């Protein structure tokens, strides 16, 4: 079970879904999610941190720790006036609405807070003390990740870095800001927001032979991978609060995307970096040696040796692309019993209880006892709040719960 830190994300619609996706991976013992570090990007840090905590509350995963990322960029540093200008620029855009989650409201009350330790400190501590290599994932500006890597003395405990960002092929799929010259348009907004950070991350990864798995705009903006009303419909059909809330959020097309993509569609970019970590079987990749240019553009060295090619540029075949959302969103059914173990689809259905009890000759008192035990187990599960202590309900495609088991807490102290 790979330890993972989601370092440098700014929820944001697609990054909200990615946080939920990684939470599911933790619930399923695919990964051990060590921490979440929101940062400025789609909103100022105070807003993206609030969004991160709201999603923790929504998924009832209060056992997951969240740490503050950075407010600015490597260029602004801690200079208050420069950070203020950076935040003003973010607030002027409201790319995903004023709250960066399409202003739908109705989120759970936040009862938890960010830890006092910064995300940079936590990532460095996790990597330094790790018993096994850690995977890092960053889908927003790479500032927090860059600062953490620059603080390390030993890099061997990093298994891989998963990044959403960059653009390889043509200017037609890139979203660099308008002031980037046309001949340098193969940039991308998150790289452009902190070019020195992107340059530093790729440089350090290359120097220490750390694999980067890169979900570029060339992948996430493919027509077959755009989010549509069909995915919203799929979420609405799942009877739990997580699926319903994210259906509400993703039913609104961000205004800038509405100008660039077919009606009622938009890219769900960060989700593919998370999917590459959890489901590498769904992806293909081309290994390249990559450097980052002065406006965040990707340069590939055609003369690099195999040993120098540490960046895996992700691709996906047509068959998988047509199924990817069905595969990923089906997993949201697991939240039904996680959030409400007394839901009709959870535990043993009455028909199953009768099927077991009657042939066995269980009398009325025995049958009543069996029913009471099932109800008691459901109520006991509701009382648990810590993610590491709650049982996981395995759910079939039709939403029926078939088994439960505790998550692995080995190594937790």
Residue in 398, 385, 296, 409 with CA at minimum distance from that of residue 26: 409
DSSP 8-state class, residue 109: P
pTM for this structure? Answer: 0.85
DSSP state of 183: G
Pairing between β-strand 284-288 and β-strand 311-315 as defined by DSSP bridges? antiparallel
Beta strands across the sheet bearing 158-164: 31-38, 2-9, 134-138, 158-164, 212-215, 311-315, 284-288
Identify the residue whose tokens are 């043993």: 348
CA distances from 65 to 62, 116, 158 (A): 8, 11, 20
Question: Hunting for tokens 């009709």 — which residue is that?
Answer: 344
Q: pLDDT tens track of the chain, all 413 residues?
A: 899 999 999 999 999 999 999 999 999 999 999 999 999 999 999 999 999 999 999 999 999 999 999 999 998 988 999 999 999 988 888 889 999 999 999 999 999 999 999 999 999 999 999 999 999 999 999 999 999 999 999 999 999 999 999 988 765 567 766 666 665 666 788 898 899 999 999 999 999 999 999 999 999 999 999 999 999 999 999 999 999 999 999 999 998 888 889 999 999 999 999 999 999 999 999 999 999 998 888 999 999 999 999 999 999 999 999 999 999 999 999 999 999 888 887 864 555 445 444 444 445 555 455 455 454 444 443 333 344 444 343 444 444 443 333 333 333 33
Q: Look at the alpha carbons of 122, 128, 131, 137 in this order and tell me if their dihedral is positive or negative.
A: positive
Q: Are 298 and 292 in contact (CB under 8 A)?
A: yes
CB 356 within 8 A of CB 392: no
Domains of the chain: 2-335 (3.90.245.10), 340-406 (no CATH)
């Amino acid at each position: 079970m790979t330890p993972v830190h989601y370092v440098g994300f700014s929820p944001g619609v697609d990054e909200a879904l990615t946080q939920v996706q990684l939470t599911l991976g933790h619930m399923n013992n695919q990964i051990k999610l060590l921490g979440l570090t929101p940062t400025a990007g789609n909103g100022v840090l105070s807003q993206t941190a609030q969004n991160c905590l709201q999603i923790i509350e929504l998924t009832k995963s209060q056992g997951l720790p969240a740490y503050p990322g950075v407010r600015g960029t490597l260029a602004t540093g801690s200079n208050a006036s420069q950070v203020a200008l950076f935040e003003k620029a973010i607030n002027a855009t409201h790319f995903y609405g004023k709250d960066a989650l399409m202003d739908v409201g109705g989120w759970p009350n936040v009862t938890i807070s960010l830890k006092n330790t910064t995300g940079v400190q936590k990532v460095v501590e996790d990597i330094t003390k790790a018993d096994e290599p850690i995977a890092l994932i960053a889908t927003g500006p790479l500032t927090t990740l860059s600062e953490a890597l620059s603080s390390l003395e030993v890099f061997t405990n990093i298994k891989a870095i998963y990044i959403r960002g960059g653009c390889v092929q043509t200017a037609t799929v890139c979203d660099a800001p308008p002031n980037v010259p046309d001949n340098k348009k193969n940039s991308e907004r998150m790289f452009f927001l902190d070019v020195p950070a992107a340059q530093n991350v790729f440089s350090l990864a290359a120097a220490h032979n750390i694999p980067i798995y890169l979900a570029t705009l060339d992948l996430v903006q493919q027509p077959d991978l755009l989010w549509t009303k069909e995915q919203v419909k799929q979420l609405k059909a799942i009877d739990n609060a997580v699926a319903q809330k994210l259906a509400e959020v993703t039913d609104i097309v961000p205004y800038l995307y509405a100008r660039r993509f077919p009606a009622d569609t938009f890219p769900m970019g960060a989700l593919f970096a998370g999917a590459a970590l959890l489901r590498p079987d769904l992806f293909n990749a081309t290994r390249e040696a990559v450097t980052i240019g002065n406006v965040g553009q990707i340069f590939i060295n055609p003369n690099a040796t195999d040993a120098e090619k540490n960046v895996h540029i992700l691709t996906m075949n047509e068959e998988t692309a047509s199924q990817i959302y069905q595969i990923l969103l089906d997993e949201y059914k697991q939240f039904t019993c996680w959030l409400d173990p007394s839901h009709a689809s959870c535990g043993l259905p009455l028909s199953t209880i009768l099927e077991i009890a009657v042939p066995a000759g269980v009398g009325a008192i025995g049958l009543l006892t069996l029913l009471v035990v099932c109800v008691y187990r459901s109520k006991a599960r509701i009382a648990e709040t810590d993610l590491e202590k709650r049982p996981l309900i395995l759910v079939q495609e039709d939403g029926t719960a078939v088994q439960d088991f505790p998550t692995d807490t080995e190594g937790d102290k």
